Structure 1
Amino acid sequence: MRDVECDIVRAGASNDAFGFSIGAIFESDLSLALWVQLGASAAFRDRLLGHVVGPGPFRLVALAKNVREPSFGETDLLLIVEGVGGHRIAVLAEIKLTAAFQARQAERYTERGERGRRAGEWDEYWTVLVAPECYIRDSNASDWGRTLSIETATGWLADDTSTHTIFLSRLLLHATSKDILGREENPAAMEFWRLYVEYATEHFPELEVELVPSGRSKRKAPSWARFGSRALRNQAVRISHKGNASCIDLIVRNCPSGRLKAAVGLLLEDEMSVKQAGSSAVVRVNAPRIWPQDAFDSQLDNIKAIFKAGERILRFCKLHRSTLEDLVR
């Protein structure tokens, strides 16, 4: 069973500036801290809006946290501003530290934004994932309209020497410290990934599954796997399966999604789609989600389905390899 307190991170840490010890950090703590900062500091709010929406000026209309709607779940932070000509913009932000995404979480944020637009609450909206850099890098973040690393937000506070801002900076720095995000060795996850490769090697050898280390430490469990590790020598075109994502991505680096869609859109097979993932474009195929901290055998049906989907997208990649590689030349 997964840890029901997966959004809590415990670590004893002393903050010299204020003489207190942080015994635990919840995602809800970060939501509260950022909610206060967005309401109290116009400069911080403008930096976030500039990062997400673009240059202002903007007038604050509403700022809320933990907004719950039965059909869409919870929005951690909801910021509504008014731009030139009364154009209203909503920013719907999800705060993450280490917890995995909930089912259809990004999609439900988009549905919430669409509902508000249709209801006339705002004219434009952006969904934003706010998380540590390593979380954004290792997760399926391309389903969000924008991403904001906590490290970037911390940098926005550097020039403000008020006691309140120094306090917040220390809190954010601690939330992204090695003590919090070091991902110490997890024996259950290490064993899961060992069995994952062993099963793939025996039953799906053409997949050429290779694990990608999580950071530099070999003691930490991987967070994703690469398919076609020998067949796909060109690192600009690769296939990845991340443990906390419900999909497999064929990644074409430094390529706009429109360009990839123009090249292979008519060649896509059932359940394949083209998405933008940062500076890269991907051909995505849906697959069941797995939980590396849970028992391997209890997830075997999902793992088989993942490998079968992986075989499909690897065949697609090999069939259209020259077209894909031309996109990054």
Structure 2
Amino acid sequence: MEQLNTYLNVMERDVDLLILEELLVSESFTNWFVSEATRRPSPIRIIGAWHSVSNAQLGESDLIVKFEEETGLSEAILIENKIDAAAQTEQGHRYKMRGEKGITQGEWAKFTTCLFAPQSYIDRNSEPYDVELSYEQVVTFFQAQADVRSQYRATFLQEAIEKNRRGYQSVVCPRMTDFATAYLDFVARNHPELNPEVAKPRAAGHDWIHFYPIPNQRNIVIVHQIRGQRIKVIYHGQLNKYDEIADKFADIVDLPLAVKPSGKSVTVSTEAPFIDLANSTFEQVKGQIRLALNSALAIKNYLIR
């Protein structure tokens, strides 16, 4: 028995419930967690914490913690917990939409969206969240405590970090893989200037098609979000250049564009045609693909002008 691992397999739900318990029973942990997430060190009074809060239209928040600061205003942190699973399409945006809906419904006056994950996952994340909090930071917090319980918590999360390092094996969807491969081959043949990504096996929800039109600048990407019906430029990690980016597109009148901050990044987007991925092959929707690519090509020209 002594040679066996204590945990057979740490799942995201296991981590959810561990953090939920700490938020509900440990005042020191809750104040530390809220301070790290909000970047404000003031003490708080917790109102409650909840696991797996769902909205029929906007999806699910893994954890929500609601609290009051000394001002008396209620705030919330909406937490997406990831060990190694791939992000869902526009997951970070839906967290923001759920936060905004909470304001309109009077649930809280302010909110913060938070990605909670191992640091290696955070380093490759492209979804927009207000803040990112790593498992490693929480491990350090627990290790600094003197009690055996906290040391157990640290060991538990360290096992989740090790699982992340071993990697996630997604379930390949042949239909989505074939569609994306046909799409990327078409672009490579007809519009190589868009510099499409290399085709790889895909899971069912992996419907973003990426283009890298500026050589040696992988932090500026054009994305066709098929189900989201958007052609979008993402300036990764360039929120400090928001005004400059907005000015760059301000005088464009022949293509309706929306420039928005998105976490630490900036996005510039326009609408794309509806494509029924569930019931169509690439050849059946090639006309819609051409229209979407026309928008991508126009945006590409604005990028390099």
TM-score interval, normalised by the smaller of the two chains? 0.7 to 0.9
* TM-score, normalised via structure 2 length: 0.72
* TM-score, normalised via structure 1 length: 0.68
Q: CA deviation at 1:102?
A: 4.9
In structure 2, the partner of 1:204 is 191
Q: Quick check: 1:129 aligned with 2:115?
A: yes
Partners of 1:185 and 1:105 lie apart in 2 by 17
Q: CA deviation at 1:311?
A: 4.9
Partners of 2:274 and 2:143 lie apart in 1 by 39
Determine if contact 2:122/2:134 at 8 Å carries over to the other structure. Answer: yes
Q: Quick check: 1:148 aligned with 2:116?
A: no
Partners of 2:287 and 2:2 lie apart in 1 by 48
Determine if contact 1:77/1:92 at 8 Å carries over to the other structure. Answer: yes
In structure 1, the partner of 2:106 is 120
In structure 2, the partner of 1:35 is 20
In structure 1, the partner of 2:215 is 233
Q: CA deviation at 1:272?
A: 3.3
Structure 2 counterparts to residues 1-329 of structure 1, below 5 A: 20-53=5-38, 54-70=40-56, 72-102=58-88, 105-142=91-128, 144-177=129-162, 181-183=166-168, 197-211=184-198, 227-229=211-213, 232-233=214-215, 235=217, 238-241=220-223, 246=228, 249-252=232-235, 254=238, 255-267=240-252, 270=255, 272-285=257-270, 298=281, 309-322=292-305
Identify which range, 307-316 or 201-210, moves more after superposition: 307-316
Aligned length: 294
- Residue 86 of structure 1 aligns with an amino acid whose one-letter code is G
Determine if contact 2:20/2:63 at 8 Å carries over to the other structure. Answer: yes
Determine if contact 2:231/2:295 at 8 Å carries over to the other structure. Answer: no
CA spacing shift, 1:182–1:303, aligned 2, 3 Å: farther
Determine if contact 2:212/2:222 at 8 Å carries over to the other structure. Answer: no
Determine if contact 1:138/1:223 at 8 Å carries over to the other structure. Answer: no
Partners of 1:52 and 1:259 lie apart in 2 by 28
- Residue 238 of structure 1 aligns with an amino acid whose one-letter code is I
Aligned residue for 2:133, secondary structure, equals strand
CA spacing shift, 1:22–1:319, aligned 2, 3 Å: same
CA spacing shift, 1:307–1:207, aligned 2, 3 Å: farther
Aligned residue for 2:250, secondary structure, equals helix
Partners of 2:119 and 2:289 lie apart in 1 by 27
Q: Which runs of 5+ in 1 are unaligned?
A: 1-13, 214-221, 323-329
Partners of 1:224 and 1:15 lie apart in 2 by 46
Aligned residue for 1:57, secondary structure, equals coil
CA spacing shift, 1:182–1:259, aligned 2, 3 Å: same
Partners of 1:15 and 1:265 lie apart in 2 by 65
Partners of 1:100 and 1:289 lie apart in 2 by 24
Determine if contact 2:80/2:115 at 8 Å carries over to the other structure. Answer: yes
Determine if contact 1:25/1:175 at 8 Å carries over to the other structure. Answer: yes
Partners of 2:254 and 2:61 lie apart in 1 by 34
Partners of 1:267 and 1:123 lie apart in 2 by 36
CA spacing shift, 1:39–1:269, aligned 2, 3 Å: farther
